Structure 1
């Protein structure tokens, strides 16, 4: 409340997100941090090597190339869609409101699944680090609950605060991987450096399909660049640049790191080393080529890598919830923005409460934090985000057929159609190899796979209800904001 010169009180201005806070690098930090490069490399890449052999690095390059093709149409459409709804706004423009509302619900559930499951990983990763460094055995639940509070506070603060935190954590986790790669390159690997990983005969093997499934999963969340449009500086340029920067960096970085680890053991020996103890592959390599102190740092940075991923997804979820509250689909209270920090703090609080409920439920059931909380909650979220990418790719040419524009056919038709085919292939690969992601029974895997389509179907039903009972909300869904 302010006071005028005449002594009259005037109501406070409505709080808004901090526009112009984020540059290209800031948005890229959010996206790359969500992918958790160190965790993906140390925790998942050994399995990709075990299944795909020395040709595993190419799987990451192919996944990155596919998503770069998707980004062509996606970023072209971003110049025409200014809504804060990200995926669902794009899908609504191209495929209509019912599909858009279904996509909105799928996005909300998918991103929540991607984040909440990772609290199990935070607990198990911290347990492993404490045991490796101090020989201590810590319970995972207090660690996960402490993480919920810490991430909740990070989301409560301003977006530029989060960008600074993620910048520091991202430099730490990528830096330790660069240190490992540098040690291997300087010492020439186990038997000299080899380019056998890129020979067709080592790439076109039966295990490549499984490698591609892991590789696509390693990029999950890269499309969230558009979520930060309202807080970006010059979003017409910043958002596309951040998208290409994130995809390009992840694809090349993943492939390079996996290749250097293969060189650390040798082309002939890497499969055996990965099969013997996949969880220790990266730690063994960095101990051999850099030193035990670096392995200790890697243990610590895996924990901070998980925290960075949690904060990045938390911020993305809050902005999705904010957009849907502003649409009238979610309760209006979730659309409140902090007057000082410019953050969607009520949405953040709701997300933290939801995460706490899920974590406590799994703990009460005696679930394993990694094998069940992480994998069983993450997997439907991952599939949901893949479906959103596919729908967004299909929406691009449909949108540009209906509007007047000066964009080229390569960007509006060729690239998005190619991306849709490639993404559909990726979804088939992931579903066909779902047991590699979850280690669960066929019944559990079936439930995990059908969850995302079921959520989308529920979204279609929600659209039908809105059209009948709240026609104004339905008619204004994903409308362009006023200039």
Structure 2
């Protein structure tokens, strides 16, 4: 893949396909009439057939930010939960593969950029869908906003170490915001190609470190102890699972791109299983490499030291030389940029789906006449991201301890809750009619996934102070607004049912057009 060609494509405006080719089916893409769908833009639908399996995998893996997870979070997982971290990552991956079975089956029947929102709408009814939409939008937005602080923090540190340049973190955050705003406004496939380059580079440096460790140490520290159940699920593992489960956030975003996928019935399942399976094995293997390099006792000693956060940077320097540490510094920044871009795209598509269905202003449900992107939703997300950055700077807050951990703490809880709700929706949707799918895929697997997510949610909430570094009521004060706004979304849907039935009929119903005459029948088919 030639990065120069990607940049040239970005400058020249992306695809040469005309607006007419990208607007097919746009008039029927929401709950309103044709005139509603096209009132604000000549093209009201996302570009169909523009994303292949690997494009979507790039988005999911990049959103997971594998280098940031391994180099930035895994050392903390070791510190909190001991040597069982590799097993915790594998277990978390298994939970999400079970969830993916039901999720991809659902996605083959419901294709919508709102994913959680549309799934819950079909499985649990429209009021639940409206509440889900609000929580999903806020959760993804909070994670996206927090990553600007994460990016600014590491960019400032890397530029200082590499070039001696001293600039405030907010300058780098603002630069990232500007670039992401342009990429989000333009065609999505440009972002996919850039994410592919960045993801490949960060994965490659970690693989090179792993090979160097194995070539140097051989089998001297080979042990399966990190995968032993007694190590993975011991009394102190709860806080470790906060990081292990959080490492897979965004796996469901394959469904978010179902409207833009080539052959969604095949592309979405393949992309989901590939992304989750790769991340589970990759995280488990690369974290085990730290054990192979340091030994069990050495790993514990390093993870409890004051320099534990530099564990993988130290391995890079020791086994490959100073060049590898420099590469890690650079790639950490690009990894965080890629993740921020991916979460921006996901947030924009949730806002697009809500606008298209009339839950928020329909202006957000319009697509660009040339790029077929949800440009208004993307602009809104970019403008909103300015606010937490300015607030953090004004209050002299820390970009990592405050902007990142507080926003992502709430966002992670919100997403895991929605994943659990989505599994319940899958079970209800397929309970009486499996629609040609096997019992394991649509009943057993999502049921087991729901049990795993329930355990994960409990672990997160019971260890929430580890994410925020706050105590007592302050943690409840952070989480409560998202839950209350979710309830407000349910109440709003109930109001729409009585006052604006034409809007209510389209809530969470995917790309189908539903008119007032069929609202009663749809309500019966999807009880509240």
Q: TM-score range by the shorter chain?
A: over 0.9
Q: Do structure 1's residue 173 and structure 2's residue 202 form an aligned pair?
A: yes
Give the aligned CA root-mean-square deviation in angstroms: 1.9
| Counterpart pick for 2:362 among 317, 332, 347 | 332
| Counterpart pick for 1:25 among 19, 31, 54 | 54
Structure 2 partner of 1:471: 501
CA–CA distance in structure 1, aligned partners of residues 232 and 353 of structure 2: 43
| Counterpart pick for 1:145 among 170, 174, 188 | 174
CA–CA distance in structure 2, aligned partners of residues 201 and 77 of structure 1: 36
Indicate how the Cα distance of structure 1 residues 88 and 182 shifts in structure 2: closer, same or farther if over 3 A, else same: same
Stretch of structure 1 that moved more, 24-33 or 72-81: 72-81
Structure 2 partner of 1:362: 392
Map Cα deviations across residues 82-132 of structure 1 (whole Å, 9 max, x no partner): 233211111111111111110011111111011011111111111211222
Structure 1 partner of 2:3: none
CA–CA distance in structure 2, aligned partners of residues 269 and 294 of structure 1: 22
Structure 1 partner of 2:487: 457
Structure 2 partner of 1:6: none
Structure 1 partner of 2:69: 40
Q: CA deviation at 1:402?
A: 5.0
Q: Do structure 1's residue 376 and structure 2's residue 406 form an aligned pair?
A: yes
SS in 1 for 2:121: helix
Q: Do structure 1's residue 222 and structure 2's residue 241 form an aligned pair?
A: no
CA–CA distance in structure 2, aligned partners of residues 331 and 473 of structure 1: 11
**Does the 8 Å contact 1:49/1:56 carry over to 2?**
yes
Indicate how the Cα distance of structure 1 residues 274 and 42 shifts in structure 2: closer, same or farther if over 3 A, else same: same
CA–CA distance in structure 1, aligned partners of residues 242 and 439 of structure 2: 30
**Does the 8 Å contact 1:51/1:207 carry over to 2?**
yes
**Does the 8 Å contact 1:189/1:265 carry over to 2?**
no
CA–CA distance in structure 1, aligned partners of residues 193 and 418 of structure 2: 29
| Counterpart pick for 1:311 among 329, 333, 341 | 341
CA–CA distance in structure 1, aligned partners of residues 349 and 279 of structure 2: 24
SS in 2 for 1:420: helix
Structure 1 partner of 2:97: 68
Map Cα deviations across residues 231-290 of structure 1 (whole Å, 9 max, x no partner): 100001101111111110111100101000121111111111112112111111111111
CA–CA distance in structure 2, aligned partners of residues 267 and 189 of structure 1: 15
SS in 1 for 2:511: coil
**Does the 8 Å contact 1:70/1:416 carry over to 2?**
yes
Structure 2 partner of 1:448: 478
CA–CA distance in structure 2, aligned partners of residues 15 and 461 of structure 1: 28
**Does the 8 Å contact 2:120/2:508 carry over to 1?**
no
Q: CA deviation at 1:421?
A: 1.3
Q: Do structure 1's residue 431 and structure 2's residue 461 form an aligned pair?
A: yes
Structure 1 partner of 2:324: 294
CA–CA distance in structure 2, aligned partners of residues 136 and 226 of structure 1: 41
SS in 2 for 1:342: coil
Q: CA deviation at 1:189?
A: 6.3
Stretch of structure 1 that moved more, 352-361 or 442-451: 442-451
SS in 2 for 1:172: helix
Stretch of structure 1 that moved more, 94-103 or 272-281: 272-281
Structure 1 partner of 2:79: 50
CA–CA distance in structure 2, aligned partners of residues 84 and 205 of structure 1: 40
CA–CA distance in structure 2, aligned partners of residues 197 and 480 of structure 1: 43
**Does the 8 Å contact 2:107/2:258 carry over to 1?**
no
Q: Do structure 1's residue 156 and structure 2's residue 156 form an aligned pair?
A: no
SS in 1 for 2:172: helix
Structure 2 partner of 1:396: 426
Structure 1 partner of 2:516: none
Map Cα deviations across residues 8-55 of structure 1 (whole Å, 9 max, x no partner): xxx995353221111111001001101111011111100111122222
Indicate how the Cα distance of structure 1 residues 82 and 199 shifts in structure 2: closer, same or farther if over 3 A, else same: closer
Q: Do structure 1's residue 127 and structure 2's residue 117 form an aligned pair?
A: no
**Does the 8 Å contact 2:221/2:293 carry over to 1?**
no
Indicate how the Cα distance of structure 1 residues 326 and 208 shifts in structure 2: closer, same or farther if over 3 A, else same: same
**Does the 8 Å contact 1:190/1:264 carry over to 2?**
no
Q: CA deviation at 1:377?
A: 1.1
Structure 2 partner of 1:5: none
Structure 2 partner of 1:385: 415
Q: Which ranges of structure 2 fall in alignment gaps of 5 or more residues?
A: 1-17, 20-38, 514-528
**Does the 8 Å contact 1:16/1:339 carry over to 2?**
no
**Does the 8 Å contact 2:83/2:296 carry over to 1?**
yes
Structure 1 partner of 2:445: 415
Q: Which ranges of structure 1 fall in alignment gaps of 5 or more residues?
A: 3-10
Q: CA deviation at 1:403?
A: 4.5
Structure 2 partner of 1:108: 137
**Does the 8 Å contact 2:67/2:332 carry over to 1?**
yes
